[in-house]
Structure 1
Amino acid sequence: MSLRDIGSLWQMAQKPSRLIIGLMSGTSLDGLDMALCRISGHGKETTARVLEFETAPYENAFKDDILRIFSKKTVDLEKLTLLNEQTGNLHAGLINAFLKKHALSPSEVDCIASHGQTIYHAPKRLHGLAAYPDATLQIGDADHIAVKTGIITLSDFRQKHLAVGGEGAPLAVYGDYLLFSDRQEDRILLNIGGIANFTYLPSDGDTAKIVCTDTGPGNTLLDALARRDFSRPYDRDAEIGFRGNVNETLLTRLLEHPFFKEALPKTTGPELFNLDWLGSFLKEPVSGEDLMATLAQLSARSIAEAIISIHKPAAIYVSGGGCHNPLLMRNLQQLLPPYTIKNFDELGINPDAKEALLFAVLANEAIAGKGTAIAGLPAVTMGKISMPG
Structure 2
Amino acid sequence: MNKSLQKLVDISQATSRIIVGLMSGTSLDGLDIALCKFSGSGADTSVNLLHFTTTDFSPEFKNELRSVSSKRIVDLQQVTVLNAFIGNYYADLILEALESWGFSASEVDIIASHGQTIYHAPQSIHKLPNYPNATLQIGDGDHIAVKTGIITLSDFRQKHIAAGGEGAPLAVYGDYLIFSDEIENRILLNIGGIANFTYLPAGFNFDQIFSTDVGPGNTILDQYVQQHFEGMFFDKDAELALSGRVDEGLLKRLLADPFFGLPFPKTTGPELFNLDYLDRAIKSNENEISQVNVLATLSEFTARVIADAIRKSIPAETPFVIYLSGGGMHNPLLKDRLAKYLNCKLKNTADLGINPDAKEAVLFALLANECLAAESFSYTSRPEMPAVAMGKVSLPF
TM-score, with normalisation over the residues of structure 1? 0.98
Instruction: Determine the C-alpha separation between the residues in 1 that align with 2:4 and 2:50.
Output: 27
The answer to whether residue 384 in structure 2 is matched with residue 379 in structure 1 is: no
| Contact 2:207/2:380 (8 A) holds in 1 | no
Q: Which residue of 2 aligns with 1:165?
A: 164
Shift of residue 47 of structure 1?
1.1
Shift of residue 380 of structure 1?
1.1
| Contact 1:20/1:109 (8 A) holds in 2 | yes
Q: Which residue of 1 aligns with 2:301?
A: 298
Instruction: Determine the C-alpha separation between the residues in 1 that align with 2:382 and 2:184.
Output: 20
AA of the residue aligned to 2:261 = K
| Contact 1:27/1:118 (8 A) holds in 2 | yes
| Contact 1:207/1:375 (8 A) holds in 2 | no
Q: Which residue of 2 aligns with 1:340?
A: 345
Instruction: Determine the C-alpha separation between the residues in 1 that align with 2:12 and 2:51.
Output: 23
Shift of residue 374 of structure 1?
4.8
Shift of residue 198 of structure 1?
0.2
AA of the residue aligned to 1:164 = A
Q: Which residue of 2 aligns with 1:82?
A: 81
Inter-CA distance 77–211: structure 2 relative to 1 (3 Å threshold): same
AA of the residue aligned to 2:201 = P
Q: Deviations over 1:352-388 (max 9, x none)?
A: 0000000000000011113443544442110001011
The answer to whether residue 326 in structure 2 is matched with residue 323 in structure 1 is: no
Q: Which residue of 2 aligns with 1:280?
A: 280
Match of 1:309, SS? helix
Instruction: Determine the C-alpha separation between the residues in 2 that align with 1:225 and 1:379.
Output: 39
Instruction: Determine the C-alpha separation between the residues in 1 that align with 2:241 and 2:48.
Output: 35
The answer to whether residue 357 in structure 2 is matched with residue 358 in structure 1 is: no
| Contact 2:221/2:299 (8 A) holds in 1 | yes
Match of 1:345, SS? helix
Give ranges in structure 2 of 5+ residues lacking alignment. none
Instruction: Determine the C-alpha separation between the residues in 2 that align with 1:11 and 1:304.
Output: 46
Give ranges in structure 1 of 5+ residues lacking alignment. none
Instruction: Determine the C-alpha separation between the residues in 2 that align with 1:17 and 1:199.
Output: 27
AA of the residue aligned to 2:311 = I
RMSD: 1.1
AA of the residue aligned to 2:17 = R
| Contact 2:324/2:347 (8 A) holds in 1 | yes
| Contact 1:314/1:340 (8 A) holds in 2 | no
Q: Which residue of 1 aligns with 2:55?
A: 56
| Contact 2:4/2:396 (8 A) holds in 1 | no
AA of the residue aligned to 2:348 = N
| Contact 2:30/2:55 (8 A) holds in 1 | yes
AA of the residue aligned to 1:334 = K
Give 1:26-175 correspondences, 5 Å limit.
Answer: 26-175=25-174
The answer to whether residue 315 in structure 2 is matched with residue 309 in structure 1 is: no
TM-score, with normalisation over the residues of structure 2? 0.96
The answer to whether residue 209 in structure 2 is matched with residue 201 in structure 1 is: no
Instruction: Return structure 1 stretches of 4+ with deviation > 4 angstroms.
Output: none
Mean CA deviation greater in 364-373 or 180-189: 364-373
Mean CA deviation greater in 269-278 or 206-215: 206-215
Shift of residue 60 of structure 1?
1.2
Match of 1:104, SS? coil
